[in-house]
Amino acid sequence: MSSRELILGRVRRALADVPPDDTPYEDAAPRGYLREHGARGAEETVALLAEHLADYRAIVHRCGESELPSLLARLLAEREAATVLVPTGLDETWLAESDVTRVADRAESDAHELDAVDSVVTACAVAVAETGTIVLDAGPDQGRRRITLVPDHHICVVRAPDQVVSSVPLALERLDPGRPLTWISGPSATSDIELDRVEGVHGPRTLEVILVG
């Protein structure tokens, strides 16, 4: 017997005495949760996102649409990046002013190839202000999930305020649960038992977020 069959068998036995007309699970408890905390306008919501991203040690930039190519070129130059990984659906104008060698997002790329890339630039699916979270759903302008987990430097472009929502419940309304979702709250980090923080353990050591709007 597999572990799956063992667990499902236990569930069936636990439910054996539940009458057919019992209250459905969805109605068993009230779920009138707050969908967001406090009333904020669009600019206040974007400002809250920027504040919480900074709390998580992400580096936050703000610019207009026309300034994005020059900002991206400057950030890659400051990083001294020789290569940048680019999703297939990323807007080509974003990197028009950068002379960094572009690496395609390929299914054949292994972890060693991705680790050799200096930076990756992506868009996002949605950003959550209350938690300072960026969500990727592997869309054409975000690429395969692993390209934002292996390279050491990730630049994520967020259209503000269009892609910024106040809370997780509002973000879930915009997301397809069938897609591979990556929830990012700051650069990858962990702490040991003495609370010594180590960054870059299971994702990028440096996360830069550009709020464009």
How far apart CA 186 and CA 59 sit, in angstroms, is 9
In this prediction, residue 200 carries a pLDDT of 61
3-state secondary structure at position 94: helix
Q: Does the predicted TM-score (pTM) go above 0.85?
A: no
Segments of the chain with pLDDT less than 50 = none
In this prediction, residue 24 carries a pLDDT of 83
CB count, 10 Å around CB of 47?
17
In this prediction, residue 192 carries a pLDDT of 66
Compute CA 8 distance to the chain's CA centroid, rounded to the nearest angstrom: 33
pLDDT in tens, 22-71: 888 788 888 888 888 888 999 999 999 999 999 999 999 999 999 999 99
Classify domain 42-212 at the CATH topology level: Rossmann fold (3.40.50)
In this prediction, residue 37 carries a pLDDT of 86
In this prediction, residue 20 carries a pLDDT of 81
In this prediction, residue 212 carries a pLDDT of 98
DSSP secondary structure of 167-190: SHHHHHHHS-TTS--EEE-SS-EE
83 contacts: CB under 8 Å, gap ≥ 6: 100, 101, 102, 103, 116, 117, 118, 119
What residues pair up with 199 in beta bridges, in sequence order?
Answer: 189
